[in-house]
A and B are shown apart, each in its own frame.
Chain A
Amino acid sequence: MEIFGVPSALLGSQLLVGLINGSFYAVLSLGLAIIFGLLNIINFAHGAQYMMGAFIAWLALTKLNINYWVALIAAPVLVGLFGVILERTMLRKLYKLDHLYGLLLTFGLALIIEGIFRDQFGISGESYEVPEALAGGVNLGFMFLPIYRAWVIVASLTVCFGTWYMIEKTRLGAYLRAGTENSQIVQALGINVPLLITFTYGYGVALAAFAGVLAAPIFQVNPLMGSNLIIVVFAVVVIGGMGSILGSIVTGIGLGLIEGLTRVFYPEASAVVVFVIMVIVLLLRPAGLFGKAA
């Protein structure tokens, strides 16, 4: 069977690959969206923090013999703590200012972090093997699905929807949402908003690192692995609606799929399709697909 001259097996496998990439985008854009929602900061260092996650996993395995599963928890915690320090010492001073300054500060931080890692580890990158338990793959008939990729989908979606649940359905989430709407009132109600903000930034950054650890066995662990990704993820957040949690998850997955389809029909354009969509969406729906109109 063929669809538009493309064998359906190939189409099916491309969609599946799109879904895998989409779940990466979802985790990364979720982190960005949370940070933007509460802090009003566009975290340009997200790509660098993603890279840090992957590097910590690699360092842990090769230098300390700490396995993948531990790294999956430890790396996000460490990078999250790093984020907390950044928030406490620098970002805190920018909340009352224009978005521009937060963006520039984090852009500068990204340059510093990537520069240091490049100087330490070189540019070629390091290899991180797929963990023993997830090695190999299954033949789905239309494609060979590596088990690790399936795990990536499961892990990312679990984390995404877990986060969504936490924000939408729990008390902590309610504080967070209220803090986004009007931090002064929430503060007046006796909730420690600055602490909440610090926690949020740390969590958003930890999500980036989590995606980094997930990515380590798939991509070469390389100091610049996040620097080109950030622009795409950024576009995902904007399309979904800045600050919208569900929007960023759904858009992330959706864009992964669309990118997958583009790779079938016009592969050269697969890097630019996301921007085309962004322009169209912003022209038709100014606040993004899931954003609340300002």
Chain B
Amino acid sequence: MSTASQPTALIKTEVLYSGLFILGLIAPFAIYPTFLMKLFCFALFASAFNLLLGFAGLLSFGHAAFLGTAGYVCGLMVRDVGVTPEIGILAGTVCAGLLGWVFGILAIRRTGIYFAMITLALAQMVYFVVLQIKATGGEDGLQGVPRGHLFGLIDLSDNIAMYYLVYAVFSIGFFIIYRTIHSPFGQILKAIRENEPRAISLGYDVNKFKLMAFVISASLAGLAGATKTLIFQLASLSDVHWHTSGEVVLMTLLGGLGTILGPAVGSATIVTLQNELADKVGSWVTVIMGTIFVVCVLAFRRGIVGEIQALIQRAGIR
């Protein structure tokens, strides 16, 4: 990323992002919108996760809790309280953020594998609560959430309208992540990741920064989850299951840990594969997923985007 400070590289980055943004605007006319919406949700989810793991060095093994909780809260608010979708999304995001704050306070006191374990354990408790309480519909899931009218005006049952809402949500979320990473706050996070004792000796309240990063990441994961509920008009137990927490690690790793676009690319790859393979190979889906995991860890640890960046850099040096 050191090249990014050079003006030409900066322009290149800007061109890249604007190009991608425009691509996203016209995409629903070429690709099936519901599929794209799902893809954007997972891209946002993985990017939020990456903010924590890739830039703050904190491996959360319980991110499904935020995705799922926000989804249920949003679904309940829209379906049973009757609020408009944007309020539902906001409510879900705030709840995920609060939950993230609780998780964070308990977990950031520990590092490494213990941090991951505490988040996993807390997420398992969330799963238990979701399974137990009546409002969530337990195993049946929270069904029949209406998409409603955005601001009471725009009918979201139209797929294209829904798509642009999801796209807007994704863009905002992604922009927040981008800004966070490039802000002084993001630099401090990276400093903590690289060398925590040094950051402490420089006078930073490390725990405060970690907690802050955790809450941002959880909120954005919640944003993705709440939006996902509106798209599919349901929230289900698989959203809070630890497999989902594992899946997001895979997405991030496959795309490229600690790269900005990596998680989005990784989740796009996985979601596309799941969707395409579901028809073609049947029961072999998990075997293929497992193989991707293994190959990725053994051969492409930098992930897709990471490897491409490395290639470009190597070419640049020459």
Q: Which residues of A contact B (CB under 8 A)?
A: 42, 90, 93-94, 97, 99-101, 104-105, 107-116, 118-119, 231, 234-235, 238, 242, 268-269, 271-272, 275-276, 278-279, 282-283, 286-287
User: In the complex, A282 Cα to B114 Cα: how many Å?
Assistant: 7
Pair B125/A276 contact, Cβ less than 8 Å: yes
Which residues of the partner chain A approach B298 to less than 8 Å between Cβ atoms? 90, 93, 105
User: In the complex, A94 Cα to B113 Cα: how many Å?
Assistant: 16
Which residues of the partner chain B approach A42 to less than 8 Å between Cβ atoms? 113
User: In the complex, A101 Cα to B246 Cα: how many Å?
Assistant: 13
B117: contacting residue among A104, A107, A111, A278, CB under 8 A: A278
Pair B293/A104 contact, Cβ less than 8 Å: yes
Tell me the minimal C-beta distance from A149 to chain B in angstroms. 28
Pair A101/B110 contact, Cβ less than 8 Å: no
User: In the complex, A112 Cα to B286 Cα: how many Å?
Assistant: 7
Pair B106/A283 contact, Cβ less than 8 Å: yes
Tell me the minimal C-beta distance from B41 to chain A in angstroms. 22
Pair A101/B297 contact, Cβ less than 8 Å: yes
Cβ of B132 within 8 Å of any chain A Cβ, yes or no, is yes
B290: contacting residue among A90, A99, A112, A283, CB under 8 A: A112
Which residues of the partner chain A approach B297 to less than 8 Å between Cβ atoms? 94, 101, 104-105, 108
* Given A272-B124, A272-B128, A276-B125, residue A238 in contact with residue B114 (CB < 8 A): yes
Which residues of the partner chain B approach A119 to less than 8 Å between Cβ atoms? 283-284, 287
A279: contacting residue among B106, B132, B250, B283, CB under 8 A: B106
User: In the complex, A268 Cα to B132 Cα: how many Å?
Assistant: 9
List, sorted by A's number, 24 A–B pairs whose CB atoms are closer than 8 Å: A93-B298, A94-B297, A104-B296, A112-B294, A113-B290, A115-B284, A115-B286, A115-B287, A231-B120, A231-B124, A234-B117, A235-B121, A238-B113, A242-B113, A271-B128, A272-B124, A272-B125, A272-B128, A279-B118, A282-B114, A282-B118, A286-B109, A286-B110, A286-B114
Cβ of B292 within 8 Å of any chain A Cβ, yes or no, is yes
User: In the complex, A238 Cα to B118 Cα: how many Å?
Assistant: 10
Cβ of B301 within 8 Å of any chain A Cβ, yes or no, is yes
* Given A97-B301, A242-B113, residue A107 in contact with residue B293 (CB < 8 A): yes
Pair A283/B286 contact, Cβ less than 8 Å: no
* B: number of interface residues (CB 8 Å): 37
Tell me the minimal C-beta distance from A275 to chain B in angstroms. 4
Tell me the minimal C-beta distance from A244 to chain B in angstroms. 14
Would you list the 3 A-B pairs with minimal beta carbon distance, nearest first?
A108-B293, A111-B290, A115-B287
User: In the complex, A105 Cα to B298 Cα: how many Å?
Assistant: 8
Which residues of the partner chain A approach B296 to less than 8 Å between Cβ atoms? 104, 108
Which residues of the partner chain B approach A110 to less than 8 Å between Cβ atoms? 290
Q: Which residues of B contact A (CB under 8 A)?
A: 59, 106, 109-110, 112-114, 117-118, 120-122, 124-125, 127-128, 132, 242, 246, 249-250, 253, 283-287, 289-294, 296-298, 301
Known: A238-B113, A272-B127. 10 other contacts (CB 8 A): A104-B293, A108-B290, A108-B296, A111-B289, A112-B294, A235-B121, A272-B124, A275-B120, A278-B118, A286-B109
Pair B253/A111 contact, Cβ less than 8 Å: no
Pair B293/A100 contact, Cβ less than 8 Å: no
Pair B249/A238 contact, Cβ less than 8 Å: no
Which residues of the partner chain B approach A90 to less than 8 Å between Cβ atoms? 294, 298
Q: Which B residue sits closest to A105, measured CB to CB?
A: B297
Which residues of the partner chain B approach A115 to less than 8 Å between Cβ atoms? 283-287, 290
The CB with the most chain A CB atoms within 10 A, among B246, B290, B293, is that of B290
Q: Which A residue sits closest to B243, measured CB to CB?
A: A227
User: In the complex, A282 Cα to B109 Cα: how many Å?
Assistant: 10
